[in-house]
Structure 1
Amino acid sequence: MSIVAETRELYPALFLADSTLPDSSIPPPDLLILNQPIASFAAFSRLWRHSQYRLCADGGANRLYDMFDGELEPQRKLFLPDSIHGDLDSLRGDVRAYYAMLGVEVSQDPDQNSTDFGKAMQKISSKHSTSSRREIVVLGTLAGRVDQGLGLLHEMIREETSDTKLRLWLFSESNVSLILRSTHSVIRGALSGGFFTENVGLVPIYGPAIITTQGLEWDVEDWETQMGHQVSTSNHVKEEEVHVKTNAPILFTIERAPLTADPIARVGEQSSQHKYPVIIA
């Protein structure tokens, strides 16, 4: 099997860490909130704290606003996004008025040939140098309508293919998913910290691939995988480090363990002092 002689170290647990992230020359990730249910306030609050630029894609602002209904309502002003962007056909009037009153940028892109995800990615990209490596945490879902879930995965590979310095992390209701490109990936911290369960899957939804794994209950070597043939779903993590070699992009998914909500006084803290750990890309 022809494997790119390159190692990428990935630390998904650091996005959910309660403590301050280690210093690094790489800035914290950006946070993209889609128009989909936010299932866990505990996970959301940690992703928010460790991110630097926060953008709601159109109706994602509705989801952010509604999360603070009830007893969390006094905390709503502590979680103001930097921008709300999209064609704005899903953004409720009361939500728009609330955030605009508090100084949140609300911008419209009427292009009907791109999705709100694509519009949001362009907006985030405009905030960064094209030569710098970027991490974007996407708060969304693969549940609900199948076509929309597949569409989201399509857009993830499209964005990463067009920008090799970009990495997207999809945080859905109970999982973290990311694309492992044609390389050797090392997923670290899979068992420690209690952030994840042992459940993991490697799915070649972007086309056939040949993979080799280490650290799983059912490891494979030079294993041909393809949708409609054989895939490694319902596998289990058995070691602290999981190694995956692939000759084509595959989707790696690991199940999140439940988190206990942080104290309210802490989750509203800004994260300008946080830094993201070095990732070899």
Structure 2
Amino acid sequence: MCSTNNHLNKWNPWEDFSLNFRRKKYAIMVLNTKINIQVDHRHMINLWTHAKLRITVDGGTSRWLCWLQDHECDESNILPPDLITGDMDSVPGQVLEYFKDKNAKIIKTPDQMETDFTKALRELKKYCETEKIEIDEIFVFGDTSGRFDQILANINTMYKATSFLADTQIYQIASSSITWVLTPGRHLISIPKCLRESNEWCALLPIGGPCIVSSEGLKWNLDKTLLTFSSLVSTSNTYSGEPHVSVTTDNFLTWSMGIEPLL
């Protein structure tokens, strides 16, 4: 088990889905899954435009281009990806050439010992260090449809990233949920009013190993409770009505929550 620390980690991704783009230091990453998030396309374009760094990962490059075309966006007025990474086995050559002509930096990462998602986060770190870009948050668009192995691989990537992007909050956004990893310690999670009023679901999943967890602000709180697979995991939980949920854990813990009413 990992020991906890006294630092309070605050999580409030909702600011970036409101009108506070300009004051945030965040990156956007598009994985090779269909972009199903149900937000107004103009809002998505604003989120993309005001990011400090825009990355598409392998086939996610085609996904992004198709999304723009499906929403009849004027591609000439949309900033291209700053960085395109991956082993490039699922992106057409003409799509790469299209964005290369728009000055996107293309980095092929052929190593098969890590997923394209993991390698993209490593390249993001290098790019930020080289270009002296500060990033506090990364919003990763990767829907969790169909492939259970890819769902777990993406979570594994977020666990890995705590070692080399320790000061960066990484959120994986699907069509109706958002997921991230809580490191050992204390966490305060902002819960929008619409999610509290609709009793939207949330979950604490001990995917990395057994956790001793305490919480406040949930309908079914935990009090130094052991969460572990083959015994208790906290799924289909919801909120008590308070504007925040506090969680203390002694090990890495996956937090996931439904956001459909928010969208």
TM-score by length of 1: 0.81
Q: Which residue of 1 aligns with 2:206?
A: 204
Q: Distance in 1 between matches of 2:158 and 2:213?
A: 21
Report how many residues are paired. 255
Runs of 4+ aligned residues of structure 1 deviating over 6 Å after TM superposition are 130-133, 193-196
Q: Equivalents in 2 of 1:47, 1:216: separation in Å? A: 30
Tell me, in whole angstroms, the C-alpha distance in 1 between the residues paired with 2:218 and 2:236: 11
Q: 1:33 aligns with which of 27, 30, 35?
A: 30
Per-residue CA deviation, residues 108-160 of structure 1 (Å, 9 max, x unaligned), is 22333332112211211012349977422111122221111111111110111
Aligned equivalents of 2:21, 2:197: Cα separation in 1: 18
CA distance in 2: counterparts of 1:56 and 1:195, whole angstroms = 33
Segment drifting more, 222-231 vs 99-108: 99-108
CA contact (8 A) 2:185 2:249 kept: yes
Report the alpha carbon displacement of residue 234 of structure 1 after superposing the two structures with TM: 0.4
* Contact 2:25–2:135 under 8 Å retained in 1: no
The answer on whether the counterparts of 2:58 and 2:90 sit within 8 Å (CA) in structure 1 is yes
Contact 1:86 1:108 in 2 (8 A): yes
* Aligned partners of 1:182 and 1:245 also within 8 Å: yes
| Residues 38/194 of structure 1: CA separation in 2 closer, same or farther (3 Å cut) | same
Q: Which residue of 2 aligns with 1:225?
A: 227
Q: Which of 211, 214, 217 is matched with 2:216 structurally?
A: 214
CA distance in 2, matches of 1:46, 1:201: 29
- Counterpart amino acid of 2:227? T
SS of structure 1 residue aligned to 2:242:
coil
Distance between the aligned counterparts of 1:134 and 1:15, measured in 2?
12
Moved more, 200-209 or 69-78: 69-78
Structure-2-length-normalised TM-score:
0.86
The structure with higher relative contact order (CA 8 Å, sep 6+) is: 1
CA contact (8 A) 1:13 1:195 kept: no
Structure 2 counterpart SS, 1:66: helix
The structural deviation recorded for 1:10 is: 1.1
After superposition, the Cα gap between the structure-2 partners of 1:208 and 1:196, relative to the gap in structure 1 and judged at 3 Å, is farther
* Structure-2 separation of matches of 1:244 and 1:129: 32
**How far apart in 2 are the matches of 1:100 and 1:143?**
30
Cα offset, 1:195, TM superposition? 10
Q: What residue is the counterpart of 1:68 in the other structure?
A: 68
Deviation track 1:4-37 (CA, whole Å, cap 9, x = no partner) reads 22211111211211x13584xxx51111111011
The 8 Å contact of residues 196 and 255 in structure 1, kept in 2 or not, is answered as no
SS of match in other structure, 1:102 = coil
SS of residue matched to 1:144: coil
Please state how far the C-alpha of 1:68 moved relative to its aligned partner: 2.1
Distance 2:94 2:26 in 1: 29
Distance 1:32 1:78 in 2: 15
From 241, 244, 249, the counterpart of 2:247: 244
One of 144, 147, 151 as aligned partner of 2:146: 144
**CA RMSD, 1 decimal:** 2.7
Does residue 157 of structure 2 align to residue 160 of structure 1? no
Gaps of 5+ in 1: 261-281
Identity percentage of aligned residues? 26
In structure 2, the gaps of 5 or more residues are: none
Residues 228 and 127 (structure 1 numbering): CA distance in 2 closer, same or farther, change over 3 Å? same
Of 203-212 and 95-104, the range deviating more from structure 2: 95-104
Task: Please report how far the alpha carbon of residue 52 of structure 1 lies from its aligned counterpart in structure 2 after TM superposition.
Answer: 1.0
| Corresponding residue for residue 15 of structure 2 | 14
Paired letter, 1:84: I
Equivalent residue in structure 2 for 1:186, among 176, 185, 188:
188
1:270 is matched with none
